[in-house]
Amino acid sequence: MIQFRHVTKSFGAVGVRDVSFICPPGTVTGFLGPNGAGKSTSLRVLCGLIRPDSGSATIDGVAYAQLPQPGRRVGVMLDATAMHPGRTGRETLILAAQVLDVGDARVAQVLDVVGLDRAAIGRHAGTYSLGMRQRLALGLALLGDPGVLVLDEPANGLDPQGIRWMRTLLREYADRGGTVLLSSHLLPEVEAIADHLVVIDQGTIVADATPQELQGAGGTSVRALDPSALTAALVASGYQPTEAGNGLVRVQATTEQVGRVAAAASVVLTELRPIGHDLEQVFFELTGHGASA
Ligand SMILES: Nc1ncnc2c1ncn2[C@@H]1O[C@H](COP(=O)(O)OP(=O)(O)OP(=O)(O)O)[C@@H](O)[C@H]1O
Ligand SMILES: [Mg+2]
């Protein structure tokens, strides 16, 4: 589990302010925000590269710098372009494997997982395309078989096929109980895999919810065979529905919440949808910027 507690860091004016959130095991948390919002700063604080002015960020309750074998606990990918250009992909992984004290068998496994073939790993990393670097960097992050992954814009430079590959890899990793925190400034990149979204804007967390909750932030519009029975059931459950005519009922609740109330009251629904918004719209409203490409 990753936990940020009131992390504040200023570089003069901007930076991050009072950033708090949790990434539970078994989930992929998408850390979303426009350029300059404070994503990388937060992740660098988490990985002990920046000391916050106040607050703390921990992994399984411990600061990164205090972890006994950090590379075995947390896979980090902050800057895929930062690897040594004069080493081959294979050398890069073998050196890292020595530092982490994992065997060559693990190097072979990881190469398989990240999809770099023999020809590619024999070439100098300096000649790699951005997408190949991302694959190698992800391989480095996975090498120590960590339970936590921290990835800054991992989809950068990947083609659509590469993005789908990474999505599957991270989903399976989380489904096996891993904790994933990945940042992106593009909603579509995380929308498909994240089961938890934390949105940051101008250094401040502006949303922390499931994609469904965010979509449902505008409430739910629902139609029932018997609207009065539905309204009564919703009121009995503590909601404040309004009847909008034509049997349509609006209520400040998620579609799931409304569906559950209806099911419990045996009310037949003929329509159930979040009001107005798709996720992108919500993201724009939260950040107030043209943050998607
Ligand atoms: N070392 C630094 N010195 C001065 N200002 C910095 C430094 N690092 C970050 N900042 C400032 O902090 C703010 C947050 O930057 P950060 O890199 O965390 O944003 P980001 O969300 O990762 O953006 P991007 O999507 O462009 O990567 C920005 O205004 C940036 O200019
Ligand atoms: Mg960044």
pLDDT tens, 76-128? 999 877 788 899 999 999 999 999 999 889 999 999 888 888 888 899 999 99
Q: ∠ CA(28), CA(130), CA(77), 5° rounding?
A: 40
Residue with the smallest CA separation from ligand 1 atom 25 is: 35
Which among 115, 243, 206 has a CA at the least distance from the CA of 169?
Answer: 115
Residue 249 contacts by C-beta under 8 Å, 6 or more apart in sequence? 221, 222, 223, 224, 227, 230, 231, 234, 241, 242, 243
Q: What residues flank ligand 1, with Cβ below 6 Å?
A: 11, 14-15, 33, 35-41, 185
CA distances from 250 to 168, 220, 239, 253, 293 (A): 36, 6, 10, 9, 32
Which among 273, 240, 236 has a CA at the least distance from the CA of 254?
Answer: 273
Q: What is the pLDDT of residue 231?
A: 95
- What per-residue string of b and e applies to 70-105 under the rule 16 or more CB within 10 Å gives b? bbbbbbbbbebeebeeeebbbebbbebbeebebeee
CA distances from 74 to 101, 267, 272 (A): 15, 48, 41
Decide: 283 and 291 in contact? Cβ < 8 Å.
Answer: yes
- Distance between Cα 52 and ligand 1 center (Å): 14
Enter the pTM of the model: 0.81
Neighbours of 122 (CB within 10 A): 12
Structure tokens at 242: 């309004």
Fold of 220-274: Alpha-Beta Plaits (3.30.70)
CA-CA-CA-CA torsion sign (114, 119, 123, 126): negative
- Distance between Cα 66 and ligand 1 center (Å): 25
Which ligand 1 atom minimizes the distance to the CA of 200? Answer: 21
Indicate the average pLDDT of the chain: 90
Fold of 2-210: Rossmann fold (3.40.50)
- Distance between Cα 36 and ligand 2 center (Å): 7
Residue with the smallest CA separation from ligand 1 atom 30 is: 36
Ligand nearest, relative to CA of residue 152: 2
Enter the DSSP assignment of 62.
B
Q: What is the average pLDDT across 44-73?
A: 95
User: Is the pLDDT assigned to residue 222 strictly greater than 70?
Assistant: yes
Domain boundaries defined on the chain: 2-210, 220-274
Ligand nearest, relative to CA of residue 13: 1
pLDDT tens, 269-290? 999 988 766 677 777 777 775 4
- How far, in Å, CA of 155 to CA of 169, rounded? 12
Q: What is the average pLDDT across 235-255?
A: 88
Tokens 């009564």 correspond to what residue?
232
Residue with the smallest CA separation from ligand 1 atom 3 is: 11
| Type of residue found at 215 | Q
Q: How confident is the model at residue 12 (pLDDT cuts 50, 70, 90)?
A: confident
- Distance between Cα 80 and ligand 1 center (Å): 17
Structure tokens at 236: 């009995």
Which ligand 1 atom minimizes the distance to the CA of 37? Answer: 21
Enter the DSSP assignment of 129.
-
Q: What is the pLDDT of residue 277?
A: 62
Ligand nearest, relative to CA of residue 293: 1
Enter the DSSP assignment of 157.
T
